[in-house]
Structure formats: C-alpha cells, structure tokens
Amino acid sequence: MGRPRDPVLEQAILDAAVDVVVERGFAAAKLDEIARRAGTGKAAIYRRWAGKTALVIAAAQHLQADLSIPDEGTLREDLLGCVRHYVSPNAKAVLVLAKVIAEMPRDGELRDAAGASIGRPAADALRAVIERWVERGAVDPAVPVDLVASLVPAVAFHRVALRHEGLDEATAVAMVDNVLLPALGVRRGESSAPAS
C-alpha cells in the first residue's frame, strides 16, 4: 500500500501549474518551475499526472464549475443550466484556457486531451438536454441536435481565445433566448414543458 495522497500538495501543484501557464504560456511552462513553486519535486508531479499536458488539463478542469446535466422542469431552464457552465467569474480559469487554446493547433496531444476533458463533456451535457426534450416532445426530432449543441462551445471558446473572457450571465441568457430556443423551434414565451 502506497502513501496516501496529500490534497494540500496536490492543490499547491495545480495552483503552481495555473500560475506558470498564465505567466509563460503552455509551451514555455516547465515542470521544474511548477514543482519549485509548489515546494516539491518533479517526482511528486509524475506520481499524480503523466506529464505536463495531463497536469495542465487537470489544473484547468479544477478551475471550472462542476458539470452536471440539469433537469429543472423546462427546456429553457435546462439550457440555461448548461450554458452557465461557460460563465466563469474566475479570471485565471479563462486565462489558462486561453493559453491552452492558443497552443492546441501546434500540439496534437494537448488538443486531444483538452477536447476530451474540457470541451466534449460540456457539449455532451447540452446535447443530452436537447435530446431529452426531443424525447419529451418539446423539440422537433428534425432539429440538428449536434449543430445546435456546438453553438455555445463555439461562442464561448471564441471569446476565451480572442478576448480572454468567458461568457457573462447576460450573454448566457441571450444565447438561450435568442439563439438556442429559436434554433430548437421554440418561440420566446412558448411553453417548453413536456407535452401532455
């Protein structure tokens, strides 16, 4: 049986990874510096993560809001629950994600890891919500679910990459009311509760 994981050290490593990536960018971030700032050695990092990519993805995920598939009783509230995942009051979360996105075209491993761990789960949650409301009869089955579910991540990551800011609450509400609901064939103010 190995030693139990030290959550304080793990948090220190994640915090150091965030700081180094924000300051230097992903490519220039070095594990030696991350370990030094966390007050540990590289071996402690490798006991927890396979390398820099895995560590930085874990650090970015740690800063994000918890992800769940909402079931609030109306399509609009469920969509808002999904879109609010992209609303980030944490400036460091946005900056780390911006640095990761900037490096993705040059680093296939990072692109695949970020897509699988950061991008896909939130898009999958939105897709699951839309599919549930298709099954409930509130959304036309002919709606291109994958296309509609890709709209929010596209807008959110565009803002992060180009403006270094996440969605704000007003933009999240506007995305739901003026983009998603119309794309799903639901007019503003129309009931989006399950058909009886």
Residues 95-113 pLDDT 10s:
999 999 999 999 999 999 9
| pLDDT, tens digit (0-9, with 9 covering 90-100), for 180-191 | 999 999 976 654
Asked whether the predicted pLDDT for residue 4 surpasses 90, the reply is no
DSSP string over 28-51: T--HHHHHHHHTS-HHHHHTT-SS
181: left (phi over 0), alpha (psi -120 to 50) or beta: alpha
- Name residue 116's amino acid: A
Give residue 193's pLDDT: 60
Asked whether the predicted pLDDT for residue 118 surpasses 60, the reply is yes
- Can you tell me the mean pLDDT for 119-134? 95
Give residue 175's pLDDT: 96
- Can you tell me the mean pLDDT for 148-176? 93
